[in-house]
Structure 1
Amino acid sequence: MKKILFAASECVPFIKTGGLADVVGSLPKYFDSSAYDVRVILPKYLCIPEKWRSKMKYMTHFYTDFCWRNQYVGVLQMELEGVQFYFIDSEFYFGGPWPYHNMYEDIEKFSFFSKAVLSTLPLIGFRPDVIHCHDWQTGLIPVYLNDSFQGDPFFQGIKTVMTIHNLRFQGTWNVETIKNMTGLSDYYFTPDKLEHYTNGNLLKGGLVYADKITTVSKSYAREIQTEFYGEGLDGLMRARNKDLVGIVNGIDYEVYNPKTDGCLEVNFDETDFQKGKRENKAALQKELGLKEDPDKMMIGIISRLTDQKGFDLVSCVIEELCGLDVQLVVLGTGEYGYEEMFKHYAWKYPDKVSANIFYSEALSHKIYAACDGFLMPSLFEPCGLSQLMSLRYGTLPIVRETGGLKDTVEPYNEFENTGTGFSFANYNAHEMLATVEYAVKTYYTNRSAWDETAKRAMERDFSWNASAKSYEALYDDLLKKEEISDKQ
């Protein structure tokens, strides 16, 4: 039995601010439980809902020296859907209404968390073969494992995997502050280790010292080795390219299932989706105050409204988009300018545009089910989950060919009748507009081809099953190399 510990700053259903939480909360359930014992450790935030905190059971506590203080560390546990979860308790660090605050405080908080994770392991009777670290918040775990914990036989031979969910977020601050916070010596603050353009960088530490590095799609693994996508770490990514693996994320097919989804007006699957989508569209049009016409093409957007997600392209051609024979349904929050842009066009074209500047899980499911197309023109997208959800509901993604969008959406080919969506290559507003126009034309003039494409989209398997098998192979390879090394 191989023992794996996921370490992360967030995890559904306990706490979520982004896609990281979906990965950490969903993936462990899909491993072969007869061969892999996969557990999760995360902070016990005060803002975790009481319904979950009340189910956590006290295991132990201890005190650790950190940042010149003797800090309390509590350890709690609970089991959910067959997965064991551990929670690191420290009201000093994990109180407050939100898991993240400002970078200075967060670096200290997650440096403490990284040290506490390792300190906890001997006390809970779980010695993992692999610690799988997620994003910069856990970047110091491989560093500490190489440093102060290496003298203890308990920790010798533990392997680490570092997963990059978004390279843009790295956990950087000035070297002296991070050195004082973490207790790490000058040895670690050089350009080949944690120093990064005169600052300290927690993610870089994890990337230097982890045994393997993964990211959330094959295309993104290639992209981050280039200057444009590498966020200043492209040289390190190229240096470690033999240890860098891209494994595309999945989605929970029990949660995102149009056949059983309780949020929908009518349930459907790939055998009756035409009727099901029409009825869901009519219900959504009525709910949002749009013109009620189930034959009208509807395009959805569910996103953070930021430049990274391509909304500078949308803003360039928003008038032209609104001039098409489509309805546009937007759900999300983000930069003020984009929020106001969608509000304005919802006011200007009330029959055609619905701007929902908030987030609602139930409404998101209704949009996936009701829409015909789904627009994701991202500047970069490490993996992306929304396009996987739209495929699951027979809603054809219209995406830019980057990262996980390129890996998961096959462009429609009208001559070979293949594909699962529409895509464009260059980060250009008019190329995006032309692709949307092509999708609209296909919808209205070749509905049979559209429906065949939607059926193919629904039949593609982007559940966590395939991803889990890829991670199992990664762990097996890593531990096999360790066994060979031990024999030599």
Structure 2
Amino acid sequence: MKKVLFVASECVPFIKTGGLADVVGSLPRYFNKEEFDVRVIIPKYLCMDQKWKDMMQYRTHFYMDMNWRSQYVGVLEMEYNGIKYYFIDNEFYFSGPKPYGNIFQDIEKFAFFSKAALSALPLIDFRPDIVHCHDWQTGLIPVYLKDKFHDGEFFRDMKSVITIHNLKFQGVWDVKTVMDITGLPKYYFSPDKLEAYGDANYLKGGIVYADAVTTVSETYAEEIKMPFYGEGLDGLMRARANCLRGIVNGIDYDEYNPATDKYIVQNYDARTFRKEKIKNKRALQEELGLERDDKKFMIGIVSRLTDQKGFDLINYIMDEMCQQDVQFVILGTGEERYENAFRHFAWKYSGKVSANIYYSEALSHKIYASCDAFLMPSLFEPCGLSQLMSLRYGTVPIVRETGGLKDTVQPYNEFEGTGTGFSFKNYNAHEMFNSVKYAKDVYYNRKREWNKIIDRAMGADYSWNSSAKKYEEMYRWL
């Protein structure tokens, strides 16, 4: 039996700020239970829902030295969906209204968490063969495994993997403070180890010291070896190319299933979407006060409203797009200028544009189920989950060919009758607009072709099963 420990800063259903939580919460359930015993360890945040806290059982506690100070570490556990979860408790570090806040606090918080997660293992009697770390918050674990913990019999042969969910976030702070917090000797803070451009960098430490590095799509694994996508670490990614692999994320096919989704007005599947899907569109037009029209080409957007997601392109050409025979439904929060831009367009084109500047799980499901197309023109996208959900719901994605979007959406080819969506290559507003117009043209004038695109989209398999097999293969290789 191979034992694997996932260490992460967030995990569905306990705490979530982004796609990382979906991965850590879903993936462990899909491993072959006969061969792999996979468990998860995350912080016990004060802002978690009380119902989860009530289900946790106290396991043990101890005091751990953080360089020159001693800190309390509590360990709680629970079983959920057949997976064992551990929670590291310390109210000094994990209080507050949200899991992350100020980077200077987070730097210390996750140094504590990384060390505590390893220190707890002998006491909970779980000795993993592989510690699978996620993103910068756990970047110190591979470093600690080669340093502080390397001498002990318990940790000696433990291997580590780090998965980069988004290279933009690296956990960077000044060397002096990080040395003081971590207690790591000066030896580790050189340019070939944790130091980058004069500062200490947690993610870099993880990448340098892990036995294997993965990221969340094959294209992104190639892109981050180039300066444009490499966020200053492209040289390191090239150096580690022999241990770097891209494994595309999946989505939970039980949670995102148009045939059983409890949030939507009318359930449907790949056989019945032609007559049933439209009922969701009618209901959404009604709910959001859009002009009621079955035939209107309806485009959905569910996203963080940030530069990364390509909103400067949408902003630039939105007026022109609204001259077309289309409707837009936007859901999300983010940078103020984009929030305000969409409020403005909703006011200017009422009946055509609906801007919902908040987040709602229910409305996101309704958008996936109701719209005809889904727009995602990202500047970069390590994997992206929204396009996988829209494929699942038969809502045709229009994406830019980058990262996971390129790997998961096959562009429509009218001559060969292939493809599951529409895509454009350059980061250019007019190129995006042309893709939207092309999709609209097929929708209005070649309805049978459009329905075949939906058939292929709903037939694609981006459940976790195939990704889990690739992770298993990597674990065996290690």
TM exceeding 0.5? yes
What is the match of residue 484 of structure 1? none
What is the match of residue 188 of structure 2? 188
What is the match of residue 83 of structure 1? 83
Equivalent residues in 2 for 1:72-221 (5 A)?
72-221=72-221
What is the match of residue 70 of structure 1? 70
Secondary structure at the aligned position of 1:54 is classed as helix
Shift of 1:101: 1.0
Whether the 8 Å CA contact 1:278–1:295 is kept in 2: the answer is: no
Shift of 1:68: 2.4
| Paired amino acid for 1:330 | I
Secondary structure at the aligned position of 1:317 is classed as helix
| Paired amino acid for 2:326 | V
Range 239-248 or range 345-354, more displaced: 345-354
What is the match of residue 222 of structure 2? 222
Cα shift readout 1:412-446 (whole Å, capped 9, x = no counterpart): 00111100000000000000001100000110000
Aligned residues: 478
Shift of 1:133: 0.1
Q: Report the Cα distance in structure 1 between the residues aligned to 2:360 and 2:313, rounded to whole angstroms.
A: 25
Q: Report the Cα distance in structure 2 between the residues aligned to 1:205 and 1:169, rounded to whole angstroms.
A: 13
The answer to whether residue 438 in structure 2 is matched with residue 473 in structure 1 is no
Equivalent residues in 2 for 1:332-481 (5 A)?
332-478=332-478
Q: Report the Cα distance in structure 1 between the residues aligned to 2:467 and 2:178, rounded to whole angstroms.
A: 35
The answer to whether residue 41 in structure 2 is matched with residue 41 in structure 1 is yes
Structure 1 segments, 4+ long, off by >3 Å, are none
Q: Report the Cα distance in structure 1 between the residues aligned to 2:470 and 2:123, rounded to whole angstroms.
A: 31
| Paired amino acid for 1:387 | Q
Shift of 1:67: 4.6
What is the match of residue 262 of structure 1? 262
Q: Report the Cα distance in structure 1 between the residues aligned to 2:16 and 2:276, rounded to whole angstroms.
A: 31
Cα shift readout 1:74-98 (whole Å, capped 9, x = no counterpart): 0000000000000000001001111
Q: Report the Cα distance in structure 1 between the residues aligned to 2:60 and 2:294, rounded to whole angstroms.
A: 58
Shift of 1:186: 0.5
| Paired amino acid for 2:376 | M
User: Normalising by the residue count of structure 2, what TM-score does the alignment of the two structures yield?
Assistant: 1.00
Q: Report the Cα distance in structure 1 between the residues aligned to 2:205 and 2:319, rounded to whole angstroms.
A: 46
Percentage of identical aligned residues: 67
Structure 2 stretches lacking a partner, 5+ long:
none
Secondary structure at the aligned position of 2:207 is classed as helix
Shift of 1:277: 1.5
The answer to whether residue 269 in structure 2 is matched with residue 273 in structure 1 is no
User: Normalising by the residue count of structure 1, what TM-score does the alignment of the two structures yield?
Assistant: 0.98
Q: Report the Cα distance in structure 2 between the residues aligned to 1:270 and 1:436, rounded to whole angstroms.
A: 24
Secondary structure at the aligned position of 2:200 is classed as strand
Structure 1 stretches lacking a partner, 5+ long:
479-488
Secondary structure at the aligned position of 1:291 is classed as coil
Cα shift readout 1:271-305 (whole Å, capped 9, x = no counterpart): 01122221000000000000111111100000011
Secondary structure at the aligned position of 1:379 is classed as coil
Q: Report the Cα distance in structure 1 between the residues aligned to 2:91 and 2:367, rounded to whole angstroms.
A: 39
